[in-house]
Structure 1
Amino acid sequence: MVDPGSILVSLLGDQGVVTRDRLAEDWSALLAEALEADTLPAAIAYPDTEAQLSEVMACAHRHQWRVLPCGSGSKLVWGGIGQGVDLVLSTARLNQVIDHAVGDMTLTAQAGVTLAQLTPQLAHHRQFLALDPAYPERATLGGLVATADTGALRQRYGGVRDMLIGLSLVRYDGQIAKAGGRVVKNVAGYDLMKLLTGSYGTLGIMTQVTFRLFPIQEASKTVVVRGPAASIQALGDRVRRSSLTPVALDWYSPALAGSLGEVQAMALVARFESMAAGVDEQVDRFLAMVPTDLTAQEFTQEAELAWWNQANRLLFPGVETTASSEGKSLPGLIAKIGLRPTAALPCLEKLTDLAPGCLARIHASSGIGILRLGGDEGGTEGLQDLRSHCEQAGGYLTLLVAPRSVKQSMDGWGYSGNALKLMKAIKTQFDPNHCLSPGRFVGGL
C-alpha cells in the first residue's frame, strides 16, 4: 500500500500531517486502546478547511484507505474497536463559528469548534447550547453529534438530535452533502440530522453543524435529596406527574451521591432554572413534596456549578487526550445504559447490589444514564450480569470506555434488536467500501 503520510503532506503540508513516527505519547496510547491492530495508523491528518478535508477523503477513496474520523479525540475510545485503520482524520482545525443569528437563536459552526470555545461567545448574548456532555473542555460539536452525547439537561431540552437543525458532511468519496438549515444540496430520502446523530463517524464526516440555542435563565438552583430508595422512587414519580419543570431530574447511585456529599444513599437530583422568583417558587413546591425520611440539600451560584462539574468529573475522569498522565490510562469502565423510566430506579438498585461501588446517574424521564465501574468491578462476567439486568428491565448496556481486552471478549454494543439488516443497508448506501470508522458501530459496522 502507498504510504498515506507522504501523499497527505502533498495535500496538507507538513503542519497538517502527523506521521506515525511523530505521534505524541498520549495519542499513541489512546490509539492503542481504540484500535484492534498493534500497528498504529500511518498518520493523523488535520485539514484546515472543508475543501481540504474533501480532498483527503477523495484521496483515501482512490487508495482504499480505511479512515477513522475524530475531533479532539476525547471520545475516540468510545464504541467498538476500530479495525484495520490506515488514517485518522481530525476536524480539530475546522474551528470557526460561521454564523450566530442572535435574533433567531441559531448557531452555525464548523465541526471542530469546542463547547468550551463556544460557551463564552454565546453567553455574551445571554444564550447557550443546551448540551452538557462528557469532557466539556475538549468536546467538539461534531463529536457531540457523532456520539449523541448529552447530560442531565436532556430532561428539559432533549438530546442532540432535538437541537440539530442542519449539517454539512463529506462522504466516503470526498463529495460534500448538506441538509437542514442553510441548505444548498440535500441528500434525498434521508433525515441526515437524525441519521448522523450517534453514528460514530460511520456514515460520513461532519464539517459544519447548525444548532438551535436557548436563553440563559436569570437564576438556577439544585436540590439533592437522599434517603431510602422506595421514598426516592415515590418522590421522583410525584415530581414527574406534577406541573414542576426541572431542567434536570436524575437518579444517583449511593456511591455517586456519597462521593458528592456526606451521606451515601440513593439520591434524586433536581435542578430548576427560570426567573429568580420562579425558581424559588418551584423549589418550595419541590421541597414540600419531600417526605420526612429523606434529607434535602440546596446548591446555588458557585457551589451549584462546582457540584455539577464534580459530578461530571466523577463519571468521566481522565480519558482526554492531554499531555498529562491522565490520557495514558482508562478509568476502569464506563457504560451507557438505557431503561424504561418506570424501571430505572429498581434496576439501579439491582446494579448497586451487584456492584456496590458503581457510580451511576440515570435521567428520570428518559431512563438513559451513565454507569462507571472501578477496575475490580469491570470484569467480563460481572458486566454480563449487569447487562442481563438491564435487558430484563427492557433496556440495554453499551460499553463506552473499557480495556481493549474487555471489548474483545464481549460485544460492546450488546444490540439485540431486529434492525441490524437495515443498518447494514444504510451503511452500504453511505459507505459502500466500509472505509469509515470500520468496526466502531453496532454489528461491527
Structure 2
Amino acid sequence: MNAIAQKLETIVGNSRILAWDAIETTRREQIQQAIATENYPCFVYPQTQAELAEVVAYAYQNQWKILPCGSTTKLNWGGLAQDVQIVISTERIHQLIEHAVGDLTVTAEAGIRFADLQTTLATAGQFLALDPTTPESATLGGIVATADTGSLRQRYGGVRDQLLGISFVRADGKIAKAGGRVVKNVAGYDLMKLFTGSYGTLGIITSVTFRVYPIPEASGTVVLTGNADQIAQAVTSLRASALTPVASDLLSQQLVINLDLGQGLGLVVRFQSLSASVKQQAASLLELGQQLNLQGAVYTDDEAELWQKLQQQMRSPTKPTEITCKIGVLPTNAVATLTQFDPHMGLIHTGSGLGLLRFDTDVNKQNILQMRDFCQSQGGFLSVLAAPPALKEKIDVWGYQGNALEMMQQIKHQFDPNNILIPSRFVRGI
C-alpha cells in the first residue's frame, strides 16, 4: 500500500495522500468497520473534480479497488468491501458552485458539509429539507450515496425527491453528469434516482443540485406518550385528519425514557407554517391526545433542543459493537413492529413506515433473521446498516428479496465492468 501511495503522489502531492500508518486513529477504525481485508488501504484527498478523475483513471489502469467516501461518517454502513486498496475522500472537494435564490436551487460540490451549506442558505431565508445522520459532519455526496434523511421525509420526501442534478466520476475516470440546475428539467436519463442510495458502487459523486425551500415562519412540536394501543389510535386519527405535519415519528419505550418524555411509546409530531397555523394544529393534536388519555406536551422555544437530543440518541451509536438496522414496514404496522422488537432505541416514521432500530451487543445472527422475517411478513424489509465486522461476515446485511437483482447486476456491469468500486458492499455482493 505504501507503493500505491507513492505512485499517487505524482497526482495529488504527498500532503494529500496517507499511508495506513499515517491515518488518524478514529478514521482508521471507521475504515476497519467497512472493509474485509488484512491489507489496509491508503487514504487519498483530491482537491478538485479533475484531480479526483485523474486518481480514479490511474486506479482503473492498475485495477486497484476503490472505497469512496466523504467524511467517513457512514463508511461502516452496508456490507464489507473486499480487497480495497485505496480509500478516496471527497471532503476537500467542497465548493459552493451556485445558489439560485430566486429559482430555489443550490449546486455544490460533493464534499461540502451539510451544516455549512445550511448556514449559507439560511442567510437567504432558505434551507435544504433533509435531516441526515450527524448533520454537522455529513457531506452532500455521502447523503446522496446512502439516501440518508430522516423525519422531514414526512413533508418533503426523501433525497431522491429533492435531487435535481449530479456530476460524477465513472469507474474509468471519465467525468459525467445528469439532470440540471432547474426544477423543471427532463433532459437525459434519471441517473439522480439511480445514484441515490447506490453506496458509491456506480461512480463517485462530485457535485449535486438540490431544490431548497423557504424557512417557515414558525415551528412547534407535540409529544404524546402512553399505551401502545392509544398511540396507534392517535396515529390513525392523525393520518385521517387535515393536519399537515412536516415530521411524525413513533418512538420506542426506551427512547422515550432516555429523552425524559414520559412512559410507554411516544409519538413526536412537528408542525411548521405560519404562526397561527402551527398553534392551531398543535392544539388540535394535543386535544386528540387528551381524548385518548395520553400524556401530552408542546415544545416551541426548546423544540430545536428536543430534536437534537432525539437525533443524538437515535443516530449516534456510542459503541462500535452496537447494531443499527434500517427497517421498512407498512405504516399501519409501525406500532406493532416497535412493540414486537422492543429495541434499545427505535424510531419509525408514521408516513412511510421507514425507521431505525438500535440494539445492544446481545443481538445475534438468529435474532436479526427473526426480525427480518417479521418485517417481511409485514410487507417490509430489514437491512443491517452498522454492526461489528464479525457479524457482517456471517449474515446477508441487505436481505434483499425483490426481483430486480439481475437488472442491478447489469447496471453495475455497465457502469463498473471491472468491479473496482467498492466490491461486495452492496446487495448480493454487487
TM-score by length of 1: 0.93
Corresponding letter in the other structure for 1:343: N
| In structure 2, C-alpha distance between the alignment counterparts of 1:129 and 1:296, rounded to whole Å | 30
- 2:390 pairs with 1:405: yes
Question: How far apart are residue 32 of structure 1 and its match?
Answer: 1.5
Q: Distance in 2 between matches of 1:2 and 1:268?
A: 52
**Counterpart secondary structure, 1:3:** helix
Partner-residue secondary structure (3-state), 2:325: strand
**Which residue does 1:120 correspond to in 2?**
119
Map of 2:354 onto structure 1: 368
User: Hey, what does 1:387 align to over in structure 2?
Assistant: 372
Once the two structures are superposed, the pairs formed by residues 82-231 of structure 1 within 5 Å of their partners are 82-182=81-181, 190-231=189-230
Which residue of 395, 399, 403 corresponds with 1:414? 399
Equivalent position amino acid for 1:432 in 2: P
Residue type of the partner of 1:7?
A: K
Deviations 1:7-62 (A, max 9, x none): 11010001121112311111221211210012211x11111100000100110110
Matched letter for residue 330 of structure 1: P
Distance 1:102 1:187, change over 3 A: closer
Indicate conservation of the 8 Å contact 2:262/2:295, yes or no: no
Q: Which residue of 2 aligns with 1:236?
A: 235
Contact 1:94 1:111 in 2 (8 A): yes
User: Which deviates more from structure 2 when the two are superposed, residues 18-27 or residues 4-13?
Assistant: 18-27
Instruction: Tell me by how many angstroms 1:430 deviates.
Output: 0.5
Query: Could you tell me which residue of structure 2 aligns to residue 330 of structure 1?
Result: 320
Q: Distance in 2 between matches of 1:339 and 1:316?
A: 19
Report the alpha carbon displacement of residue 276 of structure 1 after superposing the two structures with TM. Answer: 0.8
Quick check: 2:179–2:187 contact (8 Å CA) kept in 1?
Answer: no
Contact 1:32 1:38 in 2 (8 A): no
AA at the equivalent of 1:417: G
Distance across 2 between alignment mates of 1:188 and 1:277: 41
Asked if residue 258 in structure 1 is aligned to residue 248 in structure 2, the reply is no
- Asked if structure 2 preserves the Cα contact closer than 8 Å seen for 1:114 and 1:137, the reply is yes
1:191 partner amino acid: D
Residues 187 and 283 from structure 1, CA distance in 2 versus in 1: closer, same or farther, beyond 3 angstroms? Answer: closer
* Distance apart, 1:263 and its partner CA: 2.0
Change (3 A) 1:363 1:149: same
Could you tell me how far apart the structure 1 residues matched to 2:278 and 2:33 are?
45
- One-letter code of the match for 1:101? A
Report what 1:23 is aligned to: 23
Secondary structure in 1 aligned to 2:33? helix
Question: Are the aligned partners of 1:165 and 1:211 in contact in 2 as well (CA < 8 Å)?
Answer: yes
Deviation at 1:2, TM superposition (A): 9.4
Q: Which amino acid aligns with 1:230?
A: D
User: Which amino acid is 2:221 matched to?
Assistant: T
- Assess if the C-alpha contact under 8 Å between 1:351 and 1:389 holds in 2: no
Q: Give CA deviations for 1:372-418 in whole Å, capped at 9, x if unaligned.
A: 11122x22222122112111111111111100111111110011111
Alignment match, 2:287: 288
Alpha carbons of 1:138 and 1:261: their partners in 2 closer, same or farther (altered >3 Å)?
same
| Moved >4 Å (runs of 4+) | 186-189
The match for 2:427 is 442
- Percent identical pairs in the alignment equals 47
Cα gap change, 1:182/1:282 in structure 2, threshold over 3 Å: closer, same or farther? closer
CA distance in structure 2 between the partners assigned to 1:263 and 1:134 by the alignment: 25
Query: 1:288, CA displacement in angstroms?
Result: 2.4
Distance 2:273 2:298 in 1: 16
Whole-angstrom CA distance in 1 between matches of 2:257 and 2:198:
35
**Using the alignment, how far apart are the partners of 1:134 and 1:264 within structure 2?**
26
The verdict on how the C-alpha distance between 1:182 and 1:213 changes in structure 2, with shifts beyond 3 A counting, is: closer
Residues 192/29 of structure 1: CA separation in 2 closer, same or farther (3 Å cut)? same
**SS of 2:403 mapped into structure 1:** coil
Contact (CA 8 Å) 1:179, 1:187: kept in 2 or not?
A: no
Measure, in 2, the Cα distance between the counterparts of 1:131 and 1:189: 25
Alignment of 1:309-324 (within 5 A): 309-318=308-317
- Equivalent residues, number: 427
One-letter code of the match for 1:34? A
Does the aligned pair in 2 maintain the 1:172–1:204 contact within 8 Å? yes
Give 1:262 shift.
4.8
Q: Which region of structure 1 is more displaced relative to structure 2, 28-37 or 90-99?
A: 28-37
CA–CA distance in structure 2, aligned partners of residues 338 and 400 of structure 1: 13
Partner Cα separation in structure 2 for residue 233 and residue 442 of structure 1? 33
List alignment gaps of at least 5 residues for structure 1: 319-325
- TM-score, normalising length: structure 2: 0.96
Question: Which amino acid in the other structure matches residue 196 of structure 2?
Answer: T
Instruction: Indicate the SS of the match to 2:358.
Output: strand
CA contact (8 A) 2:328 2:375 kept: yes
Once the two structures are TM-superposed, the CA of residue 188 in structure 1 deviates from its matched residue by: 8.9
Deviation at 1:331, TM superposition (A): 5.2
Aligned to 1:298: 298
**Match in the other structure for 2:5:** 5
**Aligned Cα RMSD in Å?**
1.7
